[in-house]
Amino acid sequence: MKISGFSFVRNGVKLYYPVVESIRSILPICDEFIVAVGEGDPDDTTREEIAAIDSPKVKIIDTEWDELYWKGGAINALQTDIALNECSGDWCFYLQADEVVHEKYLPVIRNRCEELFSDTEVEGLLFGYTHFWGDYNHHQISHGWYPNEIRIVRNLPEIHSWESAQSFRYFYEYEHPQQEANTRKLKVANVAAEIYHYGWVRPPHLMQRKNKALDSVHWGRERAESHYEKAAQSFDYGPLGNIPEFTGTHPEVMQERISEFDWGDRLNYGKSRQNSAPKHKHEKLKYRILTAIERILGLEEPLFGFKNYILLKDR
């Protein structure tokens, strides 16, 4: 049994993505790691830092991002597929550039892949998520934050990245990553492991820069430029005093980055907003009520939430 890791990135270092930590976190259980690195800005060093991992397992594919596919985030799925298509493993382990796996889960994940290797009905593995917010000591447990997602898929030509690379689908006939017709959800089994998502942990000015980059590939560059010309220079995380504290440990590969945390003086650790900035989704009354109901009922999935998978519960 062979496991291929894969990912994509562009301007990762400039936008404060822990992409090197992400790759290194699962490299011990991967036979190879394929990463599609988009040509970035002249002052970005992402490719150099990935190459500096200096492992024969890591294979870089240099790509260009065609702006024809920026709207709707299709470019993210297309770049993911570029890396996926180069994978030679039986299982393909996908991490986005801001996702990291704790070393305690590596034997669990490998054992699960071995256990289900011959069970061909299982097309993917479903991971739980911890979404960090603002700093490394707070995480989101709120309606609207996905609690689970597919991150390992079988190496089948019909499986492609879907929509904005959030997940995967089985395509009977592939035309475009955002098509609904001629696709179906994957049949998946749980794995007792979590993905640590650090996408919302950055210095506030870099968080705003990252949001602009992300919105550019969903709205188009022109609309994003217009919006962020009028927006604040720094992202406002809101009151962290209402966000649950994280009591676990972070992956070993994240320790150096965590030690460099230096923007606490720009965060609001109280329970009330200090300005009139618009509320985040998790701060709004509707979502606070839904979150409270979900937690009281002990639900594993959000009420009225969309699931892009078919969970095989007997596995």
Backbone angles phi, psi at 71, to 5 degrees: -65, 135
Number of domain units in the chain: 1
Strand partners, 183: 171
- Quote the CA–CA distance of 56 and 59 in Å, as a whole number: 8
- The first and second tokens of residue 12, run together, are 């990762």
Residue identified by tokens 């009520």 is: 289
List the single range of 45-59, 76-90, 262-276 with lowest mean pLDDT: 262-276
pTM over 0.75: yes
- Give dist(CA 169, CA 75) in Å, integer: 16
Decide the pairing of beta strands 3-9 and 91-94.
parallel
pLDDT digits (tens, 9 = 90+) for 187-219: 999 999 999 999 999 999 999 999 999 999 999
The contacts of residue 107 (CB under 8 Å, 6+ apart) are 29
Residue indicated by tokens 């992402």:
46
Contact 81, 177 (CB under 8 A): yes
Quick check: 13 pLDDT over 80? yes
Cα-Cα-Cα-Cα dihedral of 24, 25, 26, 31, to 10°? 20
Give the E-state strand segments of 54-164 in sequence order: 58-63, 91-94, 99-100, 124-133, 139-140, 148-154, 159-162
Centre a 10 Å sphere on the Cβ of residue 301 and count the other Cβ atoms it contains: 13
Quick: pLDDT tens for 216-272: 999 988 899 999 998 889 999 999 999 999 999 999 999 999 999 999 999 999 999
The range of the structural domain enclosing residue 74 comes to: 1-315
Report which DSSP code applies to 239. B
Angle (CA) 256-261-265 rounded to 5° is 170
